[in-house]
Structure 1
Amino acid sequence: MLAVVQSFSNSEIDDQESAARDYTLTVEAVKLKPFFMAGHTFEMTCKVSSQNIKTPRYSVLITAEKTLNDQSNPNGTTRIISLNQDSVVRREDWIDQDRVDGVVLEKVQENEFRYRMYQTQVSDAGLYRCVVTAWSPGGGGMWREAVNGLSNPIQIDFQTSGPVFNVSVHSDRSTIYRGELVNLICIITLEGTFIDPDDMSFDVSWFAMRSVAMDRDPVFLASLDRKGIVTQARRNGSSDVSLERIGLLEFRLRLHGCEDQDFGNHYCLVTPWVQSAAGVWQREMDIKSKPILVAVKMDVLNAFKFPLLIGIGLATVIGLLSCLIGYCSSRWCCKKEVQETRRERRRLMSMEMD
C-alpha cells in the first residue's frame, strides 16, 4: 500500500513538472493614444493571455528605460508601479515629489490592465514595458508562481522645437594644494528659442568620481533645486562644500580646505524646467557636463615649514641652555679648583722658607 501511495505521489509531481514546462504566457502592450504632447496623459494597456494554467491570477509591473542616464538608477531601468495578484497597488521607484499621484495602474478586465501617467514631462521619454507574472493556486489559500512574461516596448517620444541647453564646468585654478579653496563653476548655455528668465529654472546636482579613469560609481556632493533649497551629503573628513547660484545661468561649488579625499573627476547634472504658455512647468531632459579633474597635491614647503621652525627653535633653545650650563660650570666649579691650587702653592713656599 505504501508503494502505491509513493508511486502516486511521484506521478503527481511528474504531472506538475510537465504542466509547468507547458505553461505559456503572452503579454502585449498597446498605446491608446498614438500622438500626444508634453503635459498630456499617456495611456497604455497590458493584455495577457496564458495556457495550461488553472484559474490564474496576474501581477503586473510597469518599467521604464529612460533615454538618458539616471543618476539614481545607473542600470537604466526604473520600476514605476506594480499591482499584485490580489490587486494591491504599490509605487516602486516613482520618486517625483511634484507628481506623487501622477501614475495609475488598474485592472480593467480579468486579463487586461491599464497604465496612465498624467502631466507627462519631456524627461519621461523612454521605453515602457509590462512585466507580468502568472500565479496558480498552490493549496491552503496560497499562490504559486507559474511563469513570467515581458511585453513589447512602448516608446514615449516628444517632438519639441524648444530651446537646447548645454552645460560645462570650469575651475578657477589648475593646481590645488591641501587646505586650499577650490571654485568649480557650472555654466549653462542656451541655444535656439529665446526664453524669458522668469520662465525657466534649474535643478543642479554635483557629483564626483574618485578616479582618473571614470571607472567608479559617482558620489553625490550637493544639490540646489529650482526653489533654491541646498542639500549636502554627509562628509567624513574636515573639508567642506558649499553650493550657490552666482548668476542667471551659473552655479558655483566650493571645496573648502581640500583633502586627499576630494581628489577625482567632478561634474554637474542639470535638470531644466521650462514654463509653457499655459503656465505649466515642464521638466526637460537631464544634461550632464564633461568632468573636470581635481588633483590635490601636497605643498612640500608648507608641509615642512612648521616642523622645520619647531626643529630650529628647539635646537636654539638646547644650544643656549648648553652654553648657560657650560658658563655656570666654568664660573663656579673651576674657580674653586684654582683657589685650592693657589693655597697649596703658598703652603709649599712657606715650608721651603722654614
Structure 2
Amino acid sequence: MAPWRIAFICLQWVIHYALCREVTVPDGPLYRVAGFPLTLPCAVTGYEGSRTQDFEWFQYRSETGGHQIGVVSTQDPGFPYAPFQARVRSGEIRVERDSGDRARLVVQRLRSDDQGRFECYTPSTDTRYQGNYSASVVVKVIPDTLLISHPRTLSGQPMTEGSELQLTCKASALSQQHTHLAITFGVRGGAGAAMGPPGAQGHTLREIISLDRGLAVTAGRGGSYDKRYQAGEIGLEKRVGDSSGDLYVMKIGALAPEDSGSYFCEAAQWIRDPDGTWQRIAQRTMELGNLTVQPLADSLMVTSTPSGEVTLQVGSPLSLTCVVGGVGSWTRSSLLVQWMRRGAGGGVEVEVARLGPDGVVSWGDDSTRQGAASMEKEGEGKYILRRFAAYPSDAGLYRCAVSVYAGKLNPGPSDPATVTQRSEGVLVNVKTKDVSVAAVAEVPRGPLLRRGNTVAVLCNVSVTTTGPSQVEIQWLSKRQSPEGLGEKPMADDPGRVLALLTYDGLSRIYANGSELSVDRLAPDCYRLRIHAARVEDQGHYLCQVAVWGQDPNGAWYNTGATAESSTVRVYLYARVMDLLLIPLVIGVSSALFVGVVIIATVTCCFMRRLARQRSQK
C-alpha cells in the first residue's frame, strides 16, 4: 500500500477517535454536609454541532431501587421529577454555566435524602452516536457536626488605643470522615472600612487573621494587618480544649482606631476529595460583639502639680509632679516623660530631665545639677521632678511633655510616638536678696608700657547686698577699630575671653600665645597680668562680674546680678634699645656713604693726574 494511503487512513482514525464525545464529572465518592451547598461540575468534549451543549441531571437512590429520577435540565423546564420540582422552581437547585460545554449542578441546601448517584447526561448533537454521553458520581450526605461557640463576647465598652485585645473561639467537627478545620477572625465596619480601594465602599468585611486547614497562620490583606502580624503585634494560636472542641485565641497587642467594628469568628470544615482537591463542605460564623477603639489623642490627659505659680526662697526644695491619665493598659504602652523649662525672661524652651521608656533618667540643660536633683516614677501615671535646693537659675515656666508609644514596650530611637501631649505651665519664682554690682576696669598709672613689659589690667568691683557674697570675674579683650587709630574697640566684636577667676578662688586661663595670670589684690580689686606683652596684646580690655550669694544651708549660688565695665586701651611703646638702633643704623649708613664718596673722588683725581703726566712725556 502506498505510504500516502497509510497516512490518510491514520489521519481518519485519529480524527475519528478525537471527535468521540466524552462527558466528565469529579471522581467519587464525594462527602458533603447536610444543610450546606453541593456543587457538581460537568464538562463535555469531542462533540459535534453547536458550541452550546445542553445538560440533564439524574439521580439514582438506593431506596427507590436505583430508578432514575430527573433533577434538572438546561433545555426542558418540565424535566424535574416530583421530588425536585419545588426546589428547582425556587432556585434552590439549578444549573450554572461556566461556558457552552461546561456547567455545574448547584444544590443550595443539601438534604439527607439527596444522597445517591448523580448522573450528568448531554443530549447528542453528533452525526454519529459514538463516545461517552454521560458520567456519574456518588454523593454521600453526612450529618452536620460543625459546632462553634465562644467563652465570652466583647462587653461593648470602649477600649483605649494601645490596649490589648484577646478573643477566643471554640470549634469542633465530629465526623467519621477525615476533615480539617480552618478558623478566621474578622471585623465588619468600623474606621478601617474606609481604607479600602476606591469604589469598594460597600465592602466592610475585613479578615484579620486565619488558621487554615494546614495549620498555617495568614494575616488578612485589608488594612495594616499583614504589617502588624510581621511585627508580632497580631497573633493566633490553637489550644487543645475538651471534648467539645479546641480553643482558638486571637491577640491584638495594641489596638488602633482602625480596629473598631463588629468582630466575628468563622469556622470552616474541609475535606479532601478523591481527585486530591480540598473542598469546603461546611461553614459557620459566630458574632463576638462590637468594639470601639478610643484614640489616645482623645483620652490622654497630662497635668502638672502644683498648678499656676510657685514662689520659693533661695535654697528651698522644689517638687513638680506630672500626672498622666487616659492611657489605658499601662502594661502595653511605654511612655517618655520630659520636664521642659523656659527661662523667666522667655527665650528658648530647654529640656531639664527625661525618664525614657527604658526607665533611664537623663539630664538636659544643666548636667552639673544631677547630684542636686532627681526624677522618678512614684506610681502609675505619676512622675516627680525634684530640686533639693532651688536657685535663681531654676526659675522659669515648667511644662511636662508625655509621649506615648501605644503597644510598644521597647520602642526604638526612630519609632514615632503614637501621641504627644503637654501639660499647662507652672511658673516657678525664686526669691533672692536685693543685689547691686558695679565694675570699673583700669590700667594702673606708671611708666610707659613697652613691648616685653608685664601689663596689668585692674577690675574694681563694688557689691551692695545683705549677707555673705562673692564675685566671679571674667576678663575679655576686643579688637581695635581701624578708625581713630585704634582708640575705640570694634562695635561688632563680642570679645575674646582671656581668663576667669571663680567665686571660690579658682583661676582659669583661656588665651593662647601669651602668658597670663589673675589674682586678687584687695577685697574689691582684681588683677589680670600679661607677662612679656607683645604687639598682638594691644587692644581694649574689660571685665565682667557675676555675684554669688550664700543660701541658708551654706551653699553658694549665682544670684543673677551681673555688671560689665567699660573698656580700657592697652598701647605698647617701643623699647629704648629699639629707639637707639635707628640712629645707629642711620649713622653707620651715612659714614659708609661719605667714605665711599671720598675714596671715589680721590681715586678719580689721582687717575686724571697720572694720565696728564704720561701725556707730557
Fold in common (TM above 0.5): yes
- Equivalent position SS for 2:599: helix
Give the deviation of 1:248 after TM superposition.
1.7
- Equivalent position SS for 1:145: coil
- Equivalent position SS for 2:546: strand
- Equivalent position SS for 2:559: coil
C-alpha distance in 2 between matches for 1:92 and 1:207: 29
Question: Quick check: 1:65 aligned with 2:337?
Answer: no
Question: Quick check: 1:91 aligned with 2:363?
Answer: yes
Give the deviation of 1:108 after TM superposition.
1.9
The equivalent position to 1:156 in structure 2, one of 428, 431, 440, is: 428
Give the deviation of 1:45 after TM superposition.
0.5
Change (3 A) 1:107 1:286: same
C-alpha distance in 1 between matches for 2:578 and 2:329: 80
Report the aligned-residue RMSD.
Answer: 4.7
Change (3 A) 1:87 1:51: closer
C-alpha distance in 1 between matches for 2:345 and 2:522: 27
C-alpha distance in 2 between matches for 1:107 and 1:264: 53
C-alpha distance in 2 between matches for 1:172 and 1:18: 76
2:318 is aligned to 42
C-alpha distance in 2 between matches for 1:123 and 1:140: 35
- Equivalent position SS for 2:316: coil
1:270 is aligned to 546
1:351 is aligned to none
The equivalent position to 1:289 in structure 2, one of 558, 563, 566, is: 563
C-alpha distance in 2 between matches for 1:169 and 1:18: 70
After superposition, give the CA deviation of every residue in 1:151-201 in whole Å (9 maximum; x if it has no partner). 2222332345x4523232333489x9995835241413214x4x4xxx433
Change (3 A) 1:333 1:169: closer
Alignment-mate amino acid for residue 44 of structure 1 = L
Q: Is the 8 A contact 1:82 1:89 kept in 2?
A: yes
The equivalent position to 2:376 in structure 1, one of 106, 109, 112, is: 106
Aligned residue pair count = 319
Change (3 A) 1:113 1:8: same
After superposition, give the CA deviation of every residue in 1:102-140 in whole Å (9 maximum; x if it has no partner). 111011233220111113334433333223322234699
2:592 is aligned to 321
Question: Quick check: 1:165 aligned with 2:436?
Answer: yes
C-alpha distance in 2 between matches for 1:167 and 1:190: 9
Provide structure 1 residue ranges, at least 5 long, that are not aligned to the other structure.
70-74, 348-354
Taking only the aligned residue pairs, the percentage that are identical comes to 18
C-alpha distance in 2 between matches for 1:149 and 1:49: 11
Q: Which structure: greater helix fraction?
A: 1
Provide structure 2 residue ranges, at least 5 long, that are not aligned to the other structure.
1-196, 201-218, 228-254, 260-294, 482-488
After superposition, give the CA deviation of every residue in 1:14-68 in whole Å (9 maximum; x if it has no partner). x98989xx65254322139966543332111011235699943211222333437
C-alpha distance in 1 between matches for 2:606 and 2:490: 77
1:82 is aligned to 354
Change (3 A) 1:319 1:167: closer
Change (3 A) 1:140 1:62: closer
- Equivalent position SS for 1:286: strand
Q: Is the 8 A contact 2:546 2:558 kept in 1?
A: no
Using the size of structure 2 for normalisation, the TM-score is 0.42
C-alpha distance in 2 between matches for 1:184 and 1:17: 70
Q: Is the 8 A contact 2:474 2:499 kept in 1?
A: yes
Q: How does 1:197-346 map to 2 (within 5 A)?
A: 199-207=468-476, 219-235=496-512, 238-239=513-514, 241-254=516-529, 257=533, 263=539, 266-274=542-550, 276=552, 280-294=554-568, 310=582, 314=585, 316-332=587-603, 334-345=605-616
Change (3 A) 1:7 1:234: farther
C-alpha distance in 2 between matches for 1:315 and 1:337: 33
Bigger RCO of structures 1 and 2 (CA < 8 A, at least 6 apart): 1
Which has more radius of gyration?
A: 2
Using the size of structure 1 for normalisation, the TM-score is 0.68
C-alpha distance in 2 between matches for 1:289 and 1:154: 30
Alignment-mate amino acid for residue 117 of structure 1 = R
